[in-house]
Structure 1
Amino acid sequence: MREWADFDTIDAEGGRTLKISGPLTVSSVGPLDHRLREIDEPLDVIDIADITEIDTVGAWTVSRAAGHFDAELRGVSEKAERLISAVQDAKSEAAIAPPRPGPVERVPAAVGEAVDNFGSGIKGVVGFFGAVVSSSFTLIRHPRRFPFTAMVRQFEVVGVAALPIVGLMSFLIGIVIAQQGAVQLQQFGAEIYTINLTGRLSLRELGVLMTAIMVAGRSGSAFAAQIGTMRLTEEVDAMRTIGVSPMERLVMPRILAVVFLMPVLGFYSSVLAIIGGAFIANFALDIPFWTFLLRVREVVPITDLYISLIKAPVFGLIIGIAGCYQGMQVKGNAEDVGLRTTIAVVQGIFMVIVLDAFFAVFFSNLGWD
């Protein structure tokens, strides 16, 4: 039969005394703790000389009661004293909150941490790019190891499945460019140059840039989420265990797919944007649809197409590396998958815009205006 802890109150000359008896352990102290909390009279002494056993829970109960009633503890054995002291020390440490540093200390610390994280990120990306290059040479030397099936699958996911959304987006962007350009050019009686504006802007800049942003949000996030989930479920570790390279089977098909398909998607986007401009010009400017398209052939230089085809695979490489790298960095829990996916999209879009600005200045200095 289980023995429960109990107590009695005794009034003496030295004050009111609470005398606890029985075992003070986690399995027997429950009823005692509830009864102690119901006492609303002052206590001067808590005597625990008659307890038969005590553990940390019992020591915490006695210590809490002594602190609540501001009572003196008596009859404390060596073991009880050690446990009560440990409990009180733990309570004191938990109650002491470290002082919050002021802004003078916090701001430099935050800046330093951000710089350190940026440096670590750059180092990790460079190392990952080196692993991609190494895997590329390995696959060139051993073509039988090339994952053709996986790459064809990524061709379908990255390219074919993206055609509707990329086409609709580009068509609507072409409409916006032509309509807004016509409104401004009509003030100078130069609305005919809407064709030049739409053709060159779509083919040289916005077609490939908007496609890259769409692919970063659609495919870059998918790369990070897929590989990150495989990291979380230890599938990547299992592949390494059986001698299969994750870089060759997971990363390379995705990067190659987005690199090869970005020029195609960029050209497709530019064509749809020009068609969208011709569509709205047919109604807003009374420029016949086919006249618009034929005029584009005359006013848009072939160098604009070359620039678009040069930028597209570079954008694709950036998007693929950002998505796969962040996916391979997932560790710990499912929350990290969402965090790394978000970082992959933000990094991909940011780098694409930065490189597009660099290409704009570079080709302008080459005289490809």
Structure 2
Amino acid sequence: MTILGIPMNEPKPELMHTSDPPANTMQQWFQLSTRAGLAHIVLTGNYTLTALEPILKSLMDELSKQAKNRDLHWDLTGIQQMDIAGTTLLWRAWKAQRPEHLQLRPEHEKMFARLEQLPAIKTETPYRDLLWPLTAVGGLALLLWQHAIGLVSLIGQLLLDVIYLFRNPVYIPWREISANLYRTGAQALGITALVGFLIGIVLSYLSSKQLQLFGADIFIINILGISIIRELGPMLAAILVAGRSGSSMTAQLGVMRVTQELDALTVMGISHSQRLILPKVLGLGIAMPLLVVWTSAIALLGGIVAAEWQLGLNSQYFVSALPDAVPIANLWLGLGKGVVCGMVIALIACHFGLRIKPNTESLGEGTTSSVVTAITMVIIIDAIFAVLFSDVGLT
């Protein structure tokens, strides 16, 4: 039957497929055969990176399948060219172990022998050792012991330097001590004053709110005087100096280690402890009590302003009543904390600065460890003073 000249009973012409699936190309790389009842695989072609790149993954999968048969005989004598890429491909397919039945060319034998000599890759076990908490605590204890030994050695060297300078005063580094006194003391006046003033305002404002409930407004003088002069003033000054001046000292010594300036001083016969460490310890030991007095005075000024604004307490009366409310022993106790904290901060900063290795990563880690350790020691020292002098200045 035809309509308009077109036969209707004939099948319609199908569209031509332009992308037929490729034929199995694995035969040009290996052939499987059976000889005398034994299975053989014969590798042919060029096992080089250029030739293997298009079919690398598929060939790897096929060879890995065949390698699961332990009785399979491998014949590599038909390979024309083979480089390290082909050798590595076969080695991974064999799971880093030669098959029991293998035929090689002499030149290929050297390549596989070299792979066998490579050390085995150690795989990390997913489970931790059951004793890892004990190991971690032991490592921390050993590290703490090393730092303690280093600090004791540094203190001993400084004592020897003090004895030497006492016998030979002409070698006392006055200029270095003065420079450290200026950097750690005079340049820290601004930040300590700002923080102290704000802390005094906050403490006075919160305390006055509570005292108003009991009609004990006058006791704001006792609270501010004892808390600031005895505790907050020394603590604030020490923490700020540890973060500001302690990090600066550690970074300075660390940069000198990185730039090999410390080695140059050793070559010239100049002592590190006399010219670098002792001036820092003495300078900060002198500057800290002065900063404690400064910080406490500014904090009290902030407390007076807040008390006059919140309670209507006259500032002149506050100043005149302060000596009677706060015994003078509290001031000496705060100054003693300042001296001890200042010298300890400088010792810790110099200790970590000298331990820095000549690389930038160690410089950052050493500075961070120095600041954290110094602040922790400041808090510990404050707690020790609070326990030892618990009956001083409070009665």
Relative to the length of structure 1, the TM-score reads 0.84
1:351 corresponds to: 377
Aligned counterparts of 1:112 and 1:32: Cα–Cα separation in 2: 56
User: Is 1:74 equivalent to 2:103 in the alignment?
Assistant: yes
The aligned amino acid for 1:114 is: L
The structure-2 alpha-carbon separation of the partners of 1:199 and 1:13, relative to structure 1 and needing over 3 Å to count, comes to closer
Listed one character per residue, the Cα deviations across residues 152-183 of structure 1 (whole Å, up to 9, x for unaligned) are: 22222211111111001111111122111112
Instruction: Answer whether contact 1:20 1:46 (CA < 8 A) is retained.
Output: no
Residues 209-228 of structure 1: matches in 2 within 5 Å? 209-228=235-254
2:360 corresponds to: 334
Q: CA deviation at 1:366?
A: 5.2
2:127 corresponds to: 100
Aligned counterparts of 1:284 and 1:266: Cα–Cα separation in 2: 26
Q: CA deviation at 1:316?
A: 0.3
Question: Which runs of 5 or more structure 1 residues have no equivalent in the other structure?
Answer: 1-7
Aligned counterparts of 1:297 and 1:48: Cα–Cα separation in 2: 103
2:290 corresponds to: 264
Instruction: Answer whether contact 2:49 2:86 (CA < 8 A) is retained.
Output: no
1:297 corresponds to: 323
Listed one character per residue, the Cα deviations across residues 104-144 of structure 1 (whole Å, up to 9, x for unaligned) are: 31111111212222222211211121122222222323333
The structure-2 alpha-carbon separation of the partners of 1:9 and 1:30, relative to structure 1 and needing over 3 Å to count, comes to closer
Q: CA deviation at 1:277?
A: 0.6
1:170 corresponds to: 196
SS in 1 for 2:356: coil
The structure-2 alpha-carbon separation of the partners of 1:278 and 1:34, relative to structure 1 and needing over 3 Å to count, comes to same
Residues 32-111 of structure 1: matches in 2 within 5 Å? 32-34=51-53, 37=56, 40=59, 42=62, 45=74, 47-48=76-77, 59-64=87-92, 73-77=102-106, 80-81=108-109, 83-88=111-116, 90=118, 93-94=120-121, 96-98=123-125, 100-102=127-129, 104-111=130-137
Report the identity percentage: 31
2:25 corresponds to: none
Residues 146-295 of structure 1: matches in 2 within 5 Å? 146-295=172-321
Runs of 4+, deviation exceeding 6 Å: 49-54
SS in 1 for 2:121: helix
2:167 to 136, 141, 144: 141
Aligned counterparts of 2:239 and 2:82: Cα–Cα separation in 1: 69
The structure-2 alpha-carbon separation of the partners of 1:270 and 1:366, relative to structure 1 and needing over 3 Å to count, comes to closer
Listed one character per residue, the Cα deviations across residues 296-342 of structure 1 (whole Å, up to 9, x for unaligned) are: 13322211111112221101011000111011111153121111111
Aligned counterparts of 2:102 and 2:51: Cα–Cα separation in 1: 17
2:42 to 8, 17, 23: 17
The aligned amino acid for 1:244 is: I
SS in 2 for 1:350: helix
User: More deviation in 8-17 or 183-192?
Assistant: 8-17
Listed one character per residue, the Cα deviations across residues 248-268 of structure 1 (whole Å, up to 9, x for unaligned) are: 222122111110000100000
Residues 304-343 of structure 1: matches in 2 within 5 Å? 304-331=330-357, 333-343=359-369
The structure-2 alpha-carbon separation of the partners of 1:213 and 1:38, relative to structure 1 and needing over 3 Å to count, comes to closer
The aligned amino acid for 2:76 is: D
Listed one character per residue, the Cα deviations across residues 76-104 of structure 1 (whole Å, up to 9, x for unaligned) are: 42x6435424424647x2154356334x3
1:114 to 140, 158, 168: 140
Instruction: Answer whether contact 1:208 1:312 (CA < 8 A) is retained.
Output: yes
Aligned counterparts of 1:12 and 1:285: Cα–Cα separation in 2: 101
Q: CA deviation at 1:218?
A: 0.6
Instruction: Answer whether contact 1:211 1:266 (CA < 8 A) is retained.
Output: yes
The aligned amino acid for 2:121 is: A
Instruction: Answer whether contact 1:254 1:320 (CA < 8 A) is retained.
Output: yes
Instruction: Answer whether contact 1:195 1:295 (CA < 8 A) is retained.
Output: yes
Instruction: Answer whether contact 2:45 2:81 (CA < 8 A) is retained.
Output: no
2:50 to 31, 37, 42: 31
2:387 corresponds to: 361
More helix by share: 1
Instruction: Answer whether contact 1:171 1:276 (CA < 8 A) is retained.
Output: yes
Specify the structure having the higher radius of gyration (Cα).
Answer: 2
Instruction: Answer whether contact 1:178 1:195 (CA < 8 A) is retained.
Output: no
The structure-2 alpha-carbon separation of the partners of 1:342 and 1:9, relative to structure 1 and needing over 3 Å to count, comes to closer
Instruction: Answer whether contact 2:329 2:392 (CA < 8 A) is retained.
Output: no
Q: Give the CA RMSD over aligned residues.
A: 3.0
SS in 1 for 2:76: strand
The aligned amino acid for 2:44 is: K
Aligned counterparts of 2:86 and 2:160: Cα–Cα separation in 1: 63
Q: CA deviation at 1:60?
A: 3.2
